[in-house]
Amino acid sequence: MVLSNVHGFPRIGRRRELKFATERYWAGEASRGELAEAGQAIRRENWRLMREAGIPLIPSGDFSFYDQVLDVTALVGAVPERFRGAEDPYFAMARGTSEAPAMEMTKWFDTNYHLIVPELGPDTSFELSDTKPFDEYLEARELDIQTKPVLVGPVTYLLLSKPGEGAPEELDPLTLLDPLVEVYAQVIGRLGELGADWVELHEPAFVEDRGEPELDALRRAYGRLGDVHGRPRIAVATYFDHAGEALSALRDLSVEGVGLDFTRGGRNLELLREVGGLGGKTLFAGIVDGRNVWANDLRASLGLLAELRTRAEELVVSTSCSLQHVPVDVDDEPGLDEELKGWMAFAVQKLHELVTLARALEDPGEVARELDRSAALHDARRSSPRTRNPAVRERVAALGGSHARRQSAFERRRAAQRGRLRLPSFPTTTIGSFPQTADLRAARMALRRGELDEAEYERRMRAEVERVIRLQEELGLDVLVHGEPERNDMVQYFGERMEGYAFTDNAWVQSYGSRYVRPPIIYGDVARPEPITIDWITYAQSLTDRPVKGVLTAPLTMLKWSFVRDDQPEADTCRQIALALRDEVLDLERAGVPIIQIDDPAIREGLPLRHERWNEYLEWAVESFRICSSGVSEETQIQTHMCYSEFGDILDQIQRMDADVLLIEAARSRMELLDDWARTGYRGEVGPGVYDIHSPRVPSPEETADLLRAAARVLDPEQLWVNPDCGLKTRRYDEVEPALRNMVDAARQLRKELAPAPA
């Protein structure tokens, strides 16, 4: 019998139950026990869905109240000292407290999911400090469900870490491997005692370029775990790309199973051929895509599985990665028409794809109807006129070098923009959004339900724009924004006003903590039928004499934060979006908007995990930004914003984007980018974020000024802007107002200290 396996299931609940329960707990409106009950209800519903679908290898331990990497930090006792006295250390690590800044947050490999970065040092002491893996396994057993516990693997955990407070920057985290693995050995041994058949350890770090020290750590870790007495069978799962040089090491580990991704790691098949297969191991074949919403081409997958079956002792049909990256159920989407829904599979539908493929390997005739239906739907999608717009394709084909080049060099543009804007040194601004209050969300919901007409909705939004403009004037900000009250999401808002996109009502996925998004679905060629932001920005500018900037989302981020069509290269889709946004940029300039900010936080996140594809990706990613931004005159300032990724290794390419001002996250990482700026000699203007908006903490003026002083020691003070790390939509006004006031005070202090004296 061929088994089917799930690496993880969405943990947010069908109706975002986890979000609401968590936020009630944070607000003091619910107890820890009530939060625990909400989590238990979600886990039990997930296990029931997988059991009823016929999945034999059901995960436990994949549920998290915030982040699976943070769960390991709690499990192994690696809680930084500053959180040990907190009322709830787990959430304090993620969100910070009034006394202790939160731990750093970054992207989970090349996804839009954010992890909480472990902080380790030479004195870190690991010990088993939580019972979560055992509790959840036993909880499922009480329901007569045998699960397969899953856990982030020890080597990936260490490779994701950073030196903690007081630790040397050159700390090699792999020096901590042996004591960490001893805690994992306790976990695995205990799970074996409880009756687990399999335990699955996730090591996605081994789809990145790895050298012998990391491969040796992998062998050492699993050599020890393989020796645990009475242990379950161990599967080591990789995903998001091919295993490359690690495949031989994985094949030789003292474990029973290896998971490989055959959706984003297509070269894994070639590698298996090269090494002669996995020998006596079980191959967990990641054939159902855990990262996108398109239905599986079952017949094509069966052909691949037929060969994979010859490359291992036993074959398990698996998701490529955890399904936490896709929505729960396409049947919860009444707004999608039947044709589009037929092309899609969310988490629930992917369960049925797994089971169908496993059954087809045993007897294709048993599922012939499902195979025929899959083939017919894929044929219909390929031939549908909804996916192709000849005018868009002609426009992309006509692109030339002039479309991606500014009219003059940066130094000349800088002089022209300074003459137009007449800003002080250390100019202050924000990233774009202001808090989305309950009243704003209620108005948007009332509009969707038809309880509020367009005219009244617009009146309320304009009133909010005026309130935000007046607040910024009172706070003393130099470059203002309209606050984005009318926008639901930085990608969805623009996608809803373009052709080629589809949208959902309930297709939420977790970005971080209780922050969930509904990614748009790009199914066809993209075009902008009419202007999107002009009326809002020009209205805001009419209210003030200070410059108000227009804020757009860059083409690459529009692409990466959507579920992208898989029937053409991503580069082609990105160029289509770039041309649509170029039209919006030019309309803003014609309307007299002096500064246009084009946010591109996804550019580093989208970087391929293997260096072999970096140059190709960066070429079209940078080109797409420049297509979008380069049609304006030298007087119009182009800003861009980036956050919550490691940008140091692509600063040269960021400079090639040729934006005039780069606003970038730096507060949460305490200005770690400074060395990279010094190394690359970044010549543009820079706003290193000085206020971590993902924490409720309000930094003092002196704390903010210290960050600016650190930046001014590396960059010319005349290059520096002052701004938060990111947009403010998720914060409350009672946090935002004092933080921005302190930020403005710090900028004024630095002007006195560091600005050049007038000639």
* Whole-number Å distance between alpha carbons of 523 and 119: 41
Is residue 402, in this structure, part of any structural domain at all?
no
Q: Are residues 381 and 441 in the same domain?
A: no
Is residue 391, in this structure, part of any structural domain at all?
no
Last residue of a domain, one of 385, 418, 450: 385
Crossing angle (nearest 10°) for helices 347-362 and 32-53: 30
Residue pair 662/640 in contact (Cβ under 8 Å)? The answer is yes
Q: Are residues 200 and 303 in the same domain?
A: yes
Q: What is the pLDDT of residue 759?
A: 44
Q: Domain range for residue 69? A: 3-385
Q: How many domains does the chain have?
A: 2
Q: Are residues 72 and 135 in the same domain?
A: yes
Is residue 58, in this structure, part of any structural domain at all?
yes
Burial code of 535-567, b = ≥16 C-beta within 10 A, e = fewer?
A: ebbbbbbebeeebbbbbbbbbbbbbbbbbbbee
Short-list 532, 546, 536, 548, CA closest to 463: 536
Q: Is 694 a catalytic residue?
A: yes
Is residue 390, in this structure, part of any structural domain at all?
no
Give per-10-residue mean pLDDT for the chain (759 aa): 96 97 97 98 98 98 98 98 95 93 92 95 96 98 98 98 93 97 98 98 98 98 97 98 97 97 96 94 98 97 96 97 98 95 98 98 93 95 95 95 89 96 96 92 90 93 97 98 92 94 95 93 97 97 97 96 96 97 97 96 90 94 96 96 74 90 78 73 86 85 92 90 91 94 96 70
Is residue 393, in this structure, part of any structural domain at all?
no
Q: Are residues 362 and 428 in the same domain?
A: no
Is residue 443, in this structure, part of any structural domain at all?
yes
* Whole-number Å distance between alpha carbons of 478 and 286: 51
Short-list 518, 449, 441, 425, CA closest to 750: 425
Q: What is the pLDDT of residue 399?
A: 92
Per-residue CA distances from 120 to 163, 169, 180 (Å): 5, 11, 11
Q: Are residues 38 and 151 in the same domain?
A: yes
Is residue 394, in this structure, part of any structural domain at all?
no
Residue type, 620: W
Q: Is the dihedral of CA 585, 586, 589, 590 positive or negative?
A: negative
Q: Are residues 330 and 454 in the same domain?
A: no
Q: Are residues 633 and 716 in the same domain?
A: yes
Last residue of a domain, one of 385, 420, 454: 385
Per the structure block, which two tokens stand in for 20? 């609401």
Place of tokens 């599986």: 296
DSSP 8-state class, residue 433: B
Place of tokens 């009034």: 98
Q: Tell me phi and psi for residue 596, to 5 degrees.
A: -125, 120
* Whole-number Å distance between alpha carbons of 630 and 161: 38
Last residue of a domain, one of 342, 370, 385: 385
Q: Are residues 295 and 178 in the same domain?
A: yes
The CATH number of whichever domain residue 153 belongs to comes to 3.20.20.210
Residues near 383 by beta carbon (within 8 Å), at least 6 away in sequence: none
Short-list 424, 420, 417, 533, CA closest to 482: 533
Per the structure block, which two tokens stand in for 237? 């799962």
Is residue 442, in this structure, part of any structural domain at all?
yes
Which entry of 7, 242, 641, 694 is annotated as an active-site residue?
Answer: 694
Residue pair 263/297 in contact (Cβ under 8 Å)? The answer is no
* Whole-number Å distance between alpha carbons of 327 and 323: 8
Residue type, 140: A
Per the structure block, which two tokens stand in for 728? 């403010």
Q: What is the pLDDT of residue 646?
A: 66
Q: Can you say whether residue 394 is alpha, beta or left, with left for phi > 0 and alpha for psi between -120 and 50 degrees?
A: alpha
